[in-house]
Amino acid sequence: MIVVKFGGTSVGDAAAISRAAAITRGRLPRQPLVVVSALSRATNELLAIADQAAQGQLILALRGVEGLRDRHLAECQTLLGDGSDADDVRAELSAMCDELAGLSEALSVLGHLTPRSLDAIAAYGELLSSTLVHAAFCRYGLPMELVDGRDVVVTDELYTRALPDLEAITERARSVLLPIIRRGRVPLVGGFIGRSHAGVTTTIGRGGSDFSAALFGAALGAEAIEIWTDVDGMLTADPRSVPRARLIEEIRFDEASELATFGAKVLHPSTIAPAVQRGIPVLIFNSRRPEGHGTRITPDAPRRAVTAIAGKGNVTVIRVTSSRMLLVPGFLRTLFEVFERHRTSVDVVATSEISVSVTVDDPSRLETLMVDLRALGDVAIERNRAVVAVVGAGLGGDSATMARALGALHGMRVHMISLSATEINLTIIIDGDRLVDAMRALHSEFFDVSPTGPPTPTPTPTRPPRPEAA
């Protein structure tokens, strides 16, 4: 069997949904399981509704709910037309929007938003989309069965980015999804959403439908996980920042994982882990151009000097300086325990004898984090930084690739540099407002053909493996 996941733009309107149906039909001989995201932008709109409601802007929030209702009903009308079946689906979509309006009213009375209530609201994106897409696919004659993602994805209670429990999910997938597939039918599941062991609705992080797809794939031992999106595959950079970005036909798990972590939103970073565990290839395709080659993420893709560039903004740098750190064993452990306690994950780290610099993406717990960090030394915070990542096997060779990367950033301030232990990722922290310039400069250094001939070749390293650490 295979898992076929359609992202928000691939189910964004009636035309996209009918393209997704045609793709699914072509996959029927391979026993697909279909995962869908919320309609494009719906999750953002739901989060805004929750925010507005909790801030007492109920009218605005309810207007948002009506916008979502109108959109889903309009696409439903285009896809299903009139008739009693269509009426039933419309009634179901509308009932969900009524529930949303009820939740918004409750939030406006409480005047307070918790991660738990945020998840209760965010989940409606996938609940609505899966209901709509299921009805449309059935109308196209596909043998679909709708499954509530929450009945399969068991998570912890870290609301808004809950951790899935793969063992429990495997058990549920075998008892809920497998019998459907064995009957020759196609389960259709909303991604992104789950339920805690106690039965409360959770979500598994923004962009998490990819992760859901990988979890189902791992749980059922899929032959492949297909991610259908709005670009031709994984490209040498985000095409929104670098229009000349090119398709990468094959990429290794570790490189794709680094790129996803450092901004290649085309794939949720956590997607890779369950796929790697089972050695399941992940394929990325463009639902607008299904005939394209796409990208294959596998353990044995060829190594290249530089495979791609990624980047992301809104990064915060935290620097802790402490003379006490000098020769004190266990200091780093104490420092990282602070981050763990405040559930803030660290992306890039650089240390010297008396200082440690780290970057964090999520500054929501910064205030309380700082209180604990100050107990360890002097703390400085730099907001509005960006990280660019150069990913490829050439970085571990000699210093030439690194020199070219830094040379391309000539004239830009560099605040931190770190080479991953795997030596396939050079991360560089720069000023936030230079992110696009930096991505373009790096991309043109490594991928553009110069007017006078082919690009300077960057040799793939041929040096012997690193000796084992003593």
- Residues of the shown chain interacting with ligand ADP in the complex, contacts defined by CB under 6 A: 7-10, 37, 207, 229-231, 234-235, 237-240, 259, 264-266, 308
The count of residues interacting with ligand ASP (CB under 6 A) is 13
Q: Name the one residue in this structure whose structure tokens are 């939740």.
A: 103
What is the tally of helices (H) and strands (E) in the chain?
15, 17
| Least spacing, CB of residue 52 vs ligand ADP, in Å | 24
Instruction: Give least dist CB 41 to ligand ASP, A.
Output: 8
Burial 89-101 (b: 16+ CB within 10 A, else e): bbeebeebbeebb
Residues 10-49 within binding reach of ligand ASP (CB under 6 A)? 37-38, 43
393 is a contact residue toward ligand ASP (CB under 6 A): no
Determine the 3-state secondary structure of 121 from DSSP: helix
3-state secondary structure of 310: strand
- Does 392 participate in binding ligand ASP (rule CB under 6 A)? no
Q: How far is CA 281 from the centre of its chain?
A: 17
Spatial distance between the Cα atoms of 416 and 349, rounded to a whole number of angstroms: 9
* Using rule CB under 6 A, residue 209 touches ligand ASP: yes
- Read off the tokens for 147: 């499954």
Give me the least distance between CB of 153 and ligand ASP, in Å please.
12
The backbone region for 356, taken as left when phi is positive above 0, alpha when psi lies in -120 to 50, beta otherwise, is: beta
Residues in binding contact with Mg ion, number by CB under 5 A: 2
Within 80-119, the residues that bind Mg ion by CB under 5 A are none
**Radius of gyration of the CA atoms of the chain, in A:** 24
Choice from 12, 32, 64, 191 touching ligand ASP (CB under 6 A)? 191
**In whole angstroms, what separates CA 404 from the centre of its chain?**
29
* Nearer to ligand ADP among residue 116 and residue 288 (C-beta): 288
User: Is position 207 an interface residue for ligand ASP (rule: CB under 6 A)?
Assistant: yes
Point out which span in 113-121, 201-209, 303-311, 435-443 binds ligand ASP (CB under 6 A). Answer: 201-209
Which residue's CB comes closest to Mg ion?
A: 207
- The minimum distance between CB 94 and ligand ASP, in angstroms, equals 21
Query: Considering the complex, what minimum distance in angstroms separates the CB of residue 258 from ligand ASP?
Result: 20
- Give every CB contact of residue 333 below 8 A, 6+ residues apart in sequence: none
Q: Smallest gap, in angstroms, from Cβ of residue 175 to ligand ADP? A: 28
CB within 8 Å of 127: residues ≥ 6 apart:
96, 148, 190, 193
Instruction: Report phi then psi at 218, rounded to 5.
Output: -65, -40
| Residues in 88-127 at the binding interface with ligand ASP, rule: CB under 6 A | 125
By beta-carbon proximity to ligand ADP, the closer residue of 159 and 228 is 228
Bridge partners, 433 (sequence order): none
Phi, psi torsion values for 391, nearest 5 degrees: -120, 130
CA distance 91 to 100: 14
Q: How far is the CB of 207 from Mg ion (least distance, A)?
A: 4
Give the residue with the Cβ less far from ligand ADP, 238 or 258.
238
The residue among 193 and 350 lying less far from ligand ADP, judged by its C-beta, is: 193
268 and 205 Cβ atoms separated by less than 8 Å: yes
SS3 of the chain: helix, strand, coil, percent, to 5: 45, 20, 30
Q: Which does 13 bind (CB under 5 to 8 A by kind): ligand ASP, Mg ion, ligand ADP, none?
A: none
Which residues inside 198-217 make contact with Mg ion, applying CB under 5 A? 207
DSSP state of 461: P
208 binds ligand ASP (CB under 6 A): yes
What's 113's DSSP letter?
Answer: -
> Smaller CB distance to ligand ADP: residue 268 or 415?
268
Site string for Mg ion, 7-26 (x = CB under 5 A): x-------------------
Interface residue with ligand ASP, options 137, 192, 228, 331 (CB under 6 A): 192
